[in-house]
Amino acid sequence: QVQLVESGGGLVQDGGSLRLSCAVSGRSISNFDMGWFRQAPGKEREFVAAIGRSGSKTYYGEFMKGRFTISRDNAKNTVHLQMNSLRPEDAAVHYCAAHAGADWLPRRPYAYEYWGQGTQVTVSS
């Protein structure tokens, strides 16, 4: 059974940084394309970043470019999201997701088969 567990969320001041991690168990992470999404109260789930299985291809949401960096460590079955220059509008529950199939649409939540429970990110102004 594949499980994804996020960690690293918390409270940070405007302009601060956080590093989220997602640990995958039950199957090697090298079998998955990985993504991060976020959802604020009353809003739709929003694409944050994604990374292909080998780590050579990365994708970012329009408002994340230059501030966030996604990376993966296949040896440790973990994917990370480094978030810098955080703003109050970045506050949301952040979810890790995994895609195991052949065709992959990295920015689409429905493309992912497995999801974590989420970790809360709060940014104070």
DSSP notation for the chain: --EEEEE--EEEETT--EEEEEEEESS-GGG-EEEEEEE-TTS--EEEEEE-TTS--EEE-TTTTTTEEEEEEGGGTEEEEEE-S--GGG-EEEEEEEE-SSS--TT-GGG-SEE---EEEEEE-
pLDDT at 57: 95
pLDDT band at 63 (very low <50, low <70, confident <90, very high): confident
Percentage of the chain surpassing pLDDT 90?
Answer: 90
Each residue's pLDDT tens digit, 95-106? 999 999 888 999
- Does the pLDDT of residue 65 top 80, yes or no? no
